[in-house]
Amino acid sequence: MRLETERLILRKPKMDDLDGYAELWGDPEVVQYLSGTTLPRDQVPNAIERMLGHWERHGVGLFSVLRKEDERLVGRVGYLLWDPERWANAMHERLDGDLELEIGWTVVRSLWGNGYATEAALACRDHALGELGRERVISLIAPENTASIRVAEKIGETLERRDVRGEAFTRMTVDLYSLTA
Ligand SMILES: CC(C)(COP(=O)(O)OP(=O)(O)OC[C@H]1O[C@@H](n2cnc3c(N)ncnc32)[C@H](O)[C@@H]1OP(=O)(O)O)[C@@H](O)C(=O)NCCC(=O)NCCS
């Protein structure tokens, strides 16, 4: 599974991406609105395995995003599946049935502000509404995460519901952005 944009390649994660993910998840600024805690390098392989497990079970998942010019890992952008009753996600437990498809984005700190998150998210949106045959995509975003809200708006998502509470959001509530084809 692979998507391509003008400047980026989106492909399934590989163990070779370890250095890039250690940089990404080891950065407190990057994880501020995600788990809130940085991930030690020795736990990165597990996290890559989890992303690959999601791809295997569901046929969709999070892509490693690479810059075409030098193959540097820009971040990870792609799909997460959610049970909309409990707001539990398929990265952490086995889920079946009708699941919401989230597009999520994370970029290494030194590359913020270059339009990479938007460019990769647009490719994911188009693929979801096209080949994947989805009619709706969502994004779950902390209300203070201005940059992420801008990305959601730039791909055409609008605020559907504030203050979503669920099993995955122990530290904070999030806002639900969505786009229906
Ligand atoms: C959110 C994130 C992925 C954006 O990545 P990015 O590649 O810098 O995004 P883009 O360059 O595509 O910028 C998107 C928009 O956000 C704006 N933006 C970027 N940083 C901003 C900031 N700190 N405050 C306000 N707006 C900001 C950009 O100006 C751009 O809008 P514009 O085109 O109208 O000017 C990045 O900040 C990140 O990785 N954050 C940490 C992880 C995270 O929180 N992910 C989202 C979880 S919901």
What pLDDT is attached to residue 168? Answer: 86
Does this model's pTM top 0.85? My answer is yes
- Closest Cα to residue 103, out of 60, 66, 159, 39? 60
Could you give the CA distance from residue 28 to residue 25 in angstroms, rounded to a whole number? 8
Tens digits of residue pLDDT in 4-44? 999 999 999 999 999 999 999 999 999 999 989 999 999 99
- Would you state the CATH architecture of domain 2-180? 3-Layer(aba) Sandwich (3.40)
Q: Which helix (H) or strand (E) holds 101?
A: strand 100-107
Could you give the CA distance from residue 81 to residue 172 in angstroms, rounded to a whole number? 19
What pLDDT is attached to residue 15? Answer: 98
Kindly give the distance from the C-alpha atom of residue 159 to the centroid of ligand 1, in angstroms, as a whole number. 17
Kindly give the distance from the C-alpha atom of residue 68 to the centroid of ligand 1, in angstroms, as a whole number. 20
What pLDDT is attached to residue 25? Answer: 98
Kindly give the distance from the C-alpha atom of residue 97 to the centroid of ligand 1, in angstroms, as a whole number. 32
Cα–chain center distance at 68: 20
Residues of the chain with pLDDT under 70: none
What pLDDT is attached to residue 122? Answer: 98
Report the nearest atom of ligand 1 relative to the CA of 121: 12
Domain chopping of the chain, boundaries: 2-180
What pLDDT is attached to residue 171? Answer: 80
Single-letter code of the amino acid located at 78:
G
